Amino acid sequence: MAEAVDLRGQVADVLPLDPYALRADFPILRTETSTGRPLVYLDSASTSQKPQVVIDAVDGFYRGYNANVHRGIYEIGERSTAAYEAARASVARFIGAPDSREIVFTRNATEAINLVAYSWGRRNVGRGDAIVLTEMEHHANLVPWQLLVQEVDGDLEFIPITDDGILRLDVFEVLLRLRPKLVAFTHVSNTLGTVTPVREIVQMAHAAGALVLVDGAQAVPHLPVDVTDLGCDFYVFSGHKVLAPTGSGALWARRELLEAMPPFLAGGEMIREVHLRRSEFNAIPWKFEAGTPDIAAAIGLGVAAEYLMGIGMDRVCAHEAVLTRYALDRLATVPGITLYGPPADQRSGVVPFNVEGVHPHDVAQVLDRFGVCVRAGHHCTMPLHERLDLAATARASFNVYSTREDIDALVAGLGEVVRIFGV
């Protein structure tokens, strides 16, 4: 039984988004490449471009009130703390968290997953216990769990996918008979764009007594996300994919879980009292934010969240759904091309492909001559590529600033790839 999320219900009856107007907010999109061609950025799944308001927020912090948070009782110190905590509140609203104190700032989704693996995992997963993942996980949601089960002599099991990248929930139902401690999976595949049925998986996992962690790195920038509605226990994402600075990200977890988890890192800020032989830890979320954080990045993340909420994530989702359908239709006309992943109404704005007889790196290098930026490689999903019997793929991915003209430029560039390599 193959299950997937049908996005058609999420994109109906919303006001269209105007990417051409939004592009004016992104300074880098006005630049040209060294060959004198306009920049066509189709690698947003790797990292997104940043709007001027985010750039200004980071610049404004360093120029106007650069001071450490939660420490100085002078004016700019209090302003810095207020901006940092306001960003936490913005992130909470952005993902539907009921309490901003359930938001832990991290450097990225990778750090957030490691936090859960080390803090919750090493206290709750023991010998013989199972963790269930999927075959299409990013390495960030695979390697931390490998390390954990190797350390405690536990077990990893995997929900398989169909050839077009849809999860086999019938097999998942069988795996749940192992009574896993945790089910961890991606909300949206960074390689195939597959949108997973989060609510259904969460309900099945909870019925079997498992907690659920969702990797939302590729979902939060593109889909409306409400962690309360999804029902999961942990949700993680990276800021740099959501129009925010690098070095920003967040873990959301249910308050009772965070309060029961031991600290991940130790040092300043995460403590309430320190004595020579013992310490009393801070309240959540600061218990998990040892040392001086990347204050500017966190503030930028909050501004990015407000920017996207101002656009409306339903409109973002609708825009990318239309763009993805257009891309799949246009790319299908390229001679020798193979497209991977589910149908357009079951995927987000990610399109992996190969051109017959041409290595993806060569495809990307030729496209670069025309100012077109795509990713080439295994996209940090080597097991998924092994499952599909692929060494690598090229990948185009979209964001709010992506247009049909970008896709047309990609198709024209691929025409040159075909011509040069005689496909």
The residue type at 53: V
- For residue 110, CA distances in Å to 250, 278, 335 come to 10, 30, 38
Length of the chain, please?
423
User: Using CB atoms within 10 A of its CB, is residue 211 exposed (0-12), middle (13-18) or buried (19+)?
Assistant: buried
Residue 232 is among the residues annotated as catalytic for this protein: no
Which is the catalytic residue, given 232, 317, 373, 380? Answer: 380
The residues that bridge with 397 in the sheet, in sequence order, are 43, 350
Rounded to 10°, the helix 52-64/75-94 angle is 160
Residue type, 404: R
| Virtual torsion, Cα 94, 95, 98, 101, nearest 10 deg | -80
- The neighbouring-strand residues paired with 104 are 251
Beta-carbon-side half-sphere exposure of residue 221 (alpha carbons within 13 Å)? 33
Question: How far is the CA of 195 from the CAs of 5, 146, 188, 276, 418, in angstroms?
Answer: 6, 24, 5, 50, 31
Closest by alpha carbon to 315, among 198, 217, 400, 244?
Answer: 400
Cβ-based burial of 31 (10 A; exposed 0-12, middle 13-18, buried ≥19):
exposed
Report the C-alpha dihedral over residues 112, 113, 115, 116, rounded to 10 degrees. Answer: 120
- Tell me if residue 112 falls in helix, strand or coil: helix
Q: Are 139 and 382 in contact (CB under 8 A)?
A: yes
Instruction: Tally the C-alpha atoms within 13 A of residue 10's C-alpha that lie toward its C-beta.
Output: 23
Any idea which residues carry the catalytic annotation? 380
